[in-house]
Chains A and B, each alone.
Chain A
């Protein structure tokens, strides 16, 4: 859901950076408290995720580095630091240590009821904020400078969106894990973008795709032993993306190709008809028969186009002679005018 905004802001990698940045937070929270209570660990993740995000913003605003450089930098620094802390923890004589690495790839099985309630609560909160500030989010994404001149504090809106993205990511960490979380954020949004040209529909679809991949992924991994849930969810989500790329009616590859071929066929047909028209025009009787051989001089002529013209009753065939019908003649005469009208 919130992924839609990340995709439209062209900050797709932000999710990746944030989820990696959350790792040291988890480790530090463990070191400080010594518990494995997921709420406390996620609080740590939230903290370091936010710090990472605002550092990224700082780097982009204060230096000349491009945003992808800033993202990459923060991602690797935080992740490296997080791994360092994890190995340090593993060397400690604390029996509690095992299990922290579940945050790397996620482990849905470790979720308990309270976690689910927390997730539901945050999701509800996200929805509420989304509905309330829908207008503000939209205008910030589309045209930030303009939003500024209308008197909106774009920084506030920006921070609001970013914070909620961070929140969503941190929540997903337990299920999908640091490494794959960004896919969970982006895949549903990317898939949804293929199906619609409306922001509202896109966000709604993304939410549905996300939910479905969650449910399907969990179901698939539950039927099989030794199949961890997180990666399966991500794979299901990417199947959605693949499917959308190929089959969506407007932007999809398949339909675009079909439309392309169809248009080209239509044009070939029209050009052949126009060519015939020019020949027929020079005779007084428009249905004067001509040999098919003339058509061979014309590029784009094929037997199938001729057959189609016959099917449409534009042309009649007699042996290897063809002649235009009145209908065909009129259509051809109008063809050029129609084309002109369309261009206007």
Chain B
């Protein structure tokens, strides 16, 4: 039996009166590469943000390896949506990746040589080392996404949450990113990705959660990624031609 990395119980989140997530129960086993799919407004980002404590749920509890999230922060890394920050901010690529080390440093203490080395290694991993001193506004969308990924890698976490890492990146970057994710899975890390491109789900992921305010289904891609669940999630008679 696999260990459970993330457990979500009875999670309900609402903006104003409208529930965005309704009574979600979810178990994510250790070592899976999981996609969260669902239509716009289904609460995919909200689910991630609630697990990470960025949003306050109305009800429900989250546990990471059996303990509350607040005690397990160091095990969790987050890659936000690229559009969530101001890329004109006066800082360099290396500097952004260094931010990944701030958590383990804690208050006041400054990053030193050790942290810089870790950041450079992460940059190397995502193929961005030549751009380390580039001002972040002068990076392309795909490069910015890689920087965000590198920042999460620096945290050296066990569980990675990524909010649409493939949004607006070209095919080369997409392949580069997915290769890194697969490497993470090989190292028995758990990776949870909000994903939009249904066609690539069977190719990239081994675990999937269908979400549309309520949880529709969750499990191995080969068992549950079918027209029935897609139709239930997206509401229309959805047919994918899955090459198995």
Contacts and interface: CB of A to CB of B under 8 A. Distances in A.
Interface string A121-139: 0000000000011111011
Interface string B171-184: 00000000000000
Interface string B64-95: 00000000011011101000111001111000
A100 interface: no
Contacts of A196: 90
B19 interface: no
Interface of A: 8, 10, 132-136, 138-139, 141-143, 145-152, 193, 196-199, 201-202
Contact of A193 (B86, B90, B106): B90
B102 A152 contact: yes
Contacts of B54: 145, 148-149
Interface in B137-174: 137, 151, 155
Closest 7 pairs (CB-CB, A-B): A150-B103, A197-B135, A149-B78, A151-B73, A143-B85, A145-B54, A149-B52
B73 A197 contact: no
Interface in B23-61: 49, 52-54
Contacts of B76: 149
Contacts of A142: 85-86, 89, 91, 96, 99
Band of interface residues on B: 20 to 34
9 contacts: A135-B110, A142-B85, A148-B53, A149-B78, A149-B103, A151-B106, A193-B90, A198-B91, A202-B90
Query: Which among B52, B92, B99 has the greatest number of chain A C-beta atoms within 10 A?
Result: B99
Contacts of B53: 148-149
Given A136-B107, A143-B84, A146-B99, A8 B89 contact: yes
Nearest to A200: B90
A89 B209 CA distance: 67
A143 B80 contact: yes
A316 to B, nearest CB: 41
Interface of B: 49, 52-54, 73-74, 76-78, 80, 84-86, 89-92, 96, 99, 102-103, 105-111, 135, 137, 151, 155
A80 B52 CA distance: 43
A145 B102 contact: no
A307 B241 CA distance: 61
B163 to A, nearest CB: 10
Tell which of B49, B76, B102, B135 has the most Cβ of chain A within 10 Å: B102
**Chain A interface helix/strand/loop/mixed:** helix
A202 B107 CA distance: 23
Contacts of A197: 90-92, 135, 137
B176 to A, nearest CB: 15
Contacts of B96: 142
Contact of A149 (B73, B109, B137): B73
B115 to A, nearest CB: 10
A134 B110 contact: yes
A217 B113 CA distance: 43
A257 to B, nearest CB: 19
A135 B102 contact: yes
Contacts of B105: 135
A10 to B, nearest CB: 8
A143 B99 contact: yes
B157 to A, nearest CB: 10
A97 to B, nearest CB: 47
A9 to B, nearest CB: 9
